Amino acid sequence: MTAEGQNRPDRARPHASRLLRGVLFAAGCLCVVLGAVGAFLPILPTVPFLLLAAACYARSSERFHRRLLSSRMFGATLRAWEDHRCIPVRARRVALALVLLAFGSSAALHLHRPIIAAALVAAGVLAFALVARIPRCGCADPAPVKSGRKSPPPNGR
């Protein structure tokens, strides 16, 4: 997050209800697990579950919200979405390619069942259209969150 993003008044604050914070925290944890599984299974999306987890954590646990946004693998994409409501160009290309690969191969495997193949093609076209409608950021990857760690000096010294 940028320094200006941390002070924006529209940032979500933890909910006042302790019960609702607990429910949102549990939902955020479930979404992180589903997102992690989705990283290995092409039919389960990763980023939407992590976006949902970030939203749940924003209202339940500032600490877990910060941890998710500082993730090396998904932090840049989540921060871009939270700050600008866009996704990096590279993430969008990967998502579109995976939609084509997953739904295309699934439909090809079900050619002997035309109704199932047609349903998979229709779902793939819908998923492709939804991802294609998401605005893309102007840069390939947003700036990383500063974690307080010192970067290694140049030339390994």
Q: What is the pLDDT of residue 140?
A: 47
Closest-CA residue to 56 (of 22, 5, 6): 22
The residue assigned the tokens 């987890």 is 53
Task: Tell me the pLDDT tens digit for each residue of 18-62.
Answer: 899 999 999 999 999 998 898 888 777 788 888 899 999 999 999
Task: Tell me the pLDDT tens digit for each residue of 108-151.
Answer: 999 999 999 999 999 999 989 988 998 988 754 445 444 444 44
Global pTM reads 0.64
The answer to whether 74 touches 50, Cβ cutoff 8 Å, is: yes
SS3 149: coil
Tokens of 126: 């819908």
- Spell out the domain ranges in the chain: 11-144
Q: What is the pLDDT of residue 10?
A: 54
Q: HSE of 20 in the Cβ direction (CA atoms, 13 Å)?
A: 8
